[in-house]
Amino acid sequence: MVYRVTEQFPAAERYGLCSQLRRAATSIAANIAEGFSRNTQKDKRHFYAIALGSLTEALSHSYIASDLGFMKQKDIQFLEEKGSDINKMINGMMKSAQERNT
């Protein structure tokens, strides 16, 4: 969804906000995957925390894009809803990694 929405950004933003938003969004999945593959619970939590930070970053970039008129309100609402779901998932993974450590 992020890639589809950012295709509509002005060409001047290709290496700016567009790139930042895309990298933050892909970082979420990449860090979840990396955390899942780690052997220690501490390492898992570390990468899940980075994924959570990337999610926050992606939402922040989305709000900036919306304020600049690059994104439609319906797209922001969709990303907020998906972001909330992803946030819950990551927090659950972090909690699971914490519980296994005790």
What's the rounded mean pLDDT across residues 65-93?
A: 95
Range list of β-strands (E), the chain: none
| 8 Å CB contact between 10 and 68 | no
This model's pTM is above 0.85: yes
Work out the mean pLDDT of the chain and round it to a whole number: 94
Neighbours of 60 (CB within 10 A): 13
% the chain with pLDDT above 90: 92
Q: What is the pLDDT of residue 5?
A: 94
* CATH classification of the domain holding 12: 1.20.1440.60
pLDDT tier for residue 58 given thresholds of 50, 70 and 90:
very high
Structural domain boundaries enclosing 12: 2-101
Q: Give residue-wise pLDDT tens across range 3-43.
A: 999 999 999 999 999 999 999 999 999 999 999 999 999 99
Residue 101's pLDDT is 55
Number of domains forming the structure of the chain = 1
CA separation for the pair 25, 3 (Å, rounded): 9
Res. 98 pLDDT band, cuts 50 70 90: confident
Cβ contact 71:62 at 8 Å: yes
pLDDT average, residue stretch 56-66: 96
CA proximity to 49, closest of 95, 81, 11: 95
